[in-house]
Amino acid sequence: MEIKIMKNVLDRNKNKANEVRDLLKQKNVLMVNIISSPGAGKTTLLEKTIGNLKDKFKIAVIEGDISTDRDAQRLKNHGIPIVVINTEGGCHLDSHSISKVLPEFDLDNLDIIFVENVGNLVCPSHFDLGETFKLAVVSITEGDDKPIKYPMLFREARAILLNKLDLIEYTNFNKKVFYNDLNNVNGKIPLFEVSFTKNEGVDQWYNWISSQISSK
């Protein structure tokens, strides 16, 4: 006998994500889910962005890491609340793990939570964490083919950071190919060309993220 089900397999994750989203909305806290390959510069982006914004906004970080707390150690000097989620081999965070750690923050006293997802361009894109929006980070050294290979992330993200622009002359990264593919996948997405280690192009990003926080 056949039993019709017609159910989203990730419903359990989606329902918990909606609970997280409702709570954050009620507390007026923005949550940004940062997704990139390993080594694209997520932690450096956070180090620099927190340094720039921490006098204006109350910031917290959830660090998703496969097995260490090294990324969290790098952010410690900023004196902001940080919680580490070790996925113990898991290739992405999910809404249940986020929901479990939220009580560790004083949500009434926060403007924004940055979530550094596990470095991976595929899996994290499929798991809603209850974030306000996803931010895609891609770096010059990864090559120019990322938007066409991982369309889900580039369709779903609200903005893109193209990092390590200072290294472009040492690679065969073709900006024309990158922008053409990106335009085919998502022609309307804001993109910031930056080098966080050299502090190049970062002001536009700081202005954009500040405006997102201010208009929440």
Q: How far is the CB of 123 from another protein (least distance, A)?
A: 4
- Smallest separation, CB 146 to another protein (Å): 12
Angle between helices 42-53 and 202-214 (to 10 degrees): 70
Site string for another protein, 177-196 (x = CB under 8 A): ------xxxxxx--------
- Compute how many residues bind another protein; rule: CB under 8 A: 31
Q: How far apart are CA 182 and CA 119, in angstroms?
A: 20
88 binds another protein, rule: CB under 8 A? no
Q: Which of 66, 107, 148, 167 binds another protein (CB under 8 A)?
A: 148
Residue 87's SS3 state is coil
**101 lines the binding site for another protein (CB under 8 A):** no
Rounded CA separation 168/194 (Å): 11
Answer yes or no whether residue 123 interacts with another protein by CB under 8 A.
Answer: yes
| 152 touches another protein by CB under 8 A | yes
Please give the Cα distance from 107 to 60 (Å, whole number). Answer: 9
Cβ within 8 Å of residue 16, ≥6 positions away? 94, 95, 96, 99, 130
83/75 Cα distance (integer angstroms): 11
Q: Please tell me whether residue 13 binds another protein under the rule CB under 8 A.
A: yes
Q: Which of residues 19-48 bind another protein (CB under 8 A)?
A: none
Pairing of strands 159-163, 133-139: parallel
Give contact residues for another protein (rule: CB under 8 A): 1-10, 12-13, 90-92, 94, 122-123, 126-127, 148, 150-152, 155, 183-188
